[in-house]
């Protein structure tokens, strides 16, 4: 009963007809698995996005997912694609940031409902469309802020998060710069955790790294996002970001600890801290999580202080 109800909330393709399909686009997509998550999929650069997404629908069964279509949200997704095409061609002067964020939001909202309430085959088809839309929206965005929730201190990269209908995490994406514009990759796996800190780091050799962090169970508003303390370290690998080190766990802190994990970018170390006045001070006698930067040999280790 529930599956039938939820499935009825999907719409697969445009309501204004099939449109033209570019054979080059069809060939490009055939070279790789279109279901892959951002970061594992080589981003395509189609001439016209409307044709590209039509081909996804008709040749790969992709579909737009919206929960309630009273506001014509499915049509707004296609309008956002049209606006991106117009921006790309120069017909539109400004990037359609609000249209893009609305389109991503309504698709992620429905996917969150499905992950939280029921799983069914159409979810994969909806996720396929969502992933490829996100890649193209990021690729064409002139600014990190247009397609992220927050960015690192220097503004070079940012994080985009979505959660299920519950506060449980669903997707975390890293948006980062390349010579050919912005790119995006999913951090971790679906439903693992919510990234709430991002650090741009460099080593003595001048190598760049991005550290994606989930530093605790709650955000500043007290919303629960998961129980695991996670760190993912990425390094540039051509147009992609390659995961070179990770830490998942909290074995450097006791179950009785009631403070906060604080990252010291100078020491490359996470410490267990408690707030004293306006500052966080390390709790004596606790362990720390140390990061060593050494290219692809970088690693995390738990150390006693």
Domain ranges of the chain: 1-142
Exposure of 304 in the CB half-sphere (CA atoms within 13 A): 1
Tokens of 31: 């070279």
Three-class DSSP category at 229: coil
Q: What is the DSSP letter of 196?
A: -
Mean pLDDT of 85-111: 96
The fraction of the chain above a pLDDT of 70, given in percent, is: 81
Position 65 scores a pLDDT of: 86
Residues 175-228 pLDDT 10s: 999 998 999 999 988 887 889 999 999 999 989 999 999 876 545 554 434 457
Q: Is 222 helix (H, G, I), strand (E, B) or coil?
A: coil
- Residue 184 is predicted with a pLDDT of 97
- Average pLDDT of the chain, as a whole number: 84
Tokens 């992609």 appear where? 240
Question: Bigger pLDDT: 6 or 212?
Answer: 212
The HSE-up count of residue 248 (CA atoms within 13 Å, CB side) is: 10
pTM score, two decimals?
0.86
Q: How far apart are CA 52 and CA 14, in angstroms?
A: 12
β partners of residue 273: 260, 282
Least confident interval from 15-19, 46-50, 135-139, 232-236? 15-19
Task: Give CA–CA dist 192/211, Å, rounded.
Answer: 16
For residue 106, count other CB atoms closer than 10 A to its CB: 22
- Report the distance separating Cα 173 and Cα 115, nearest Å: 17
């Amino acid at each position: 009963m529930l599956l039938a109800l939820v499935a009825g909330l999907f719409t697969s393709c445009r309501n204004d007809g099939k449109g033209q399909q570019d054979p080059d686009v069809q060939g490009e997509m055939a070279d790789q698995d279109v279901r892959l998550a951002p970061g594992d999929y080589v981003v395509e650069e189609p001439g016209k996005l409307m044709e590209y997404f039509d081909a996804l629908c008709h040749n790969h069964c992709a579909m737009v997912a919206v929960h309630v279509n009273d506001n014509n949200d499915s049509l707004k997704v296609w309008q956002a694609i049209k606006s991106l095409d117009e921006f790309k061609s120069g017909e539109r002067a400004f990037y359609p940031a609000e249209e893009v964020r609305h389109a991503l939001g309504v698709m992620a909202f429905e996917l969150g409902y499905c992950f939280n309430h029921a799983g069914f085959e159409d979810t994969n088809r909806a996720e396929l469309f969502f992933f490829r839309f996100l890649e193209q929206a990021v690729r064409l965005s002139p600014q990190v802020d247009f397609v992220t929730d927050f960015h690192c201190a220097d503004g070079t990269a940012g994080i985009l998060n979505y959660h299920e209908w519950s506060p449980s995490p669903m997707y975390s994406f890293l948006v980062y710069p390349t010579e050919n514009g912005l790119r995006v990759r999913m951090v971790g796996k679906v439903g693992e955790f919510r990234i709430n800190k991002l650090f741009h780091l460099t080593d003595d050799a001048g190598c760049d790294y991005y550290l994606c962090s989930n530093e605790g169970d709650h955000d500043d508003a007290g919303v629960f996002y998961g129980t695991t303390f996670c760190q993912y370290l990425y390094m540039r690998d051509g147009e992609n970001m390659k995961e070179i080190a990770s830490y998942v766990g909290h074995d450097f802190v006791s179950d009785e600890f009631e403070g906060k994990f604080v990252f010291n970018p100078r020491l490359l170390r996470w410490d267990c801290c408690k707030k004293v006045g306006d500052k966080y001070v390390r709790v004596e006698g606790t362990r720390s999580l140390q990061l060593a930067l050494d290219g692809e040999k970088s690693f995390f280790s738990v150390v006693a202080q």
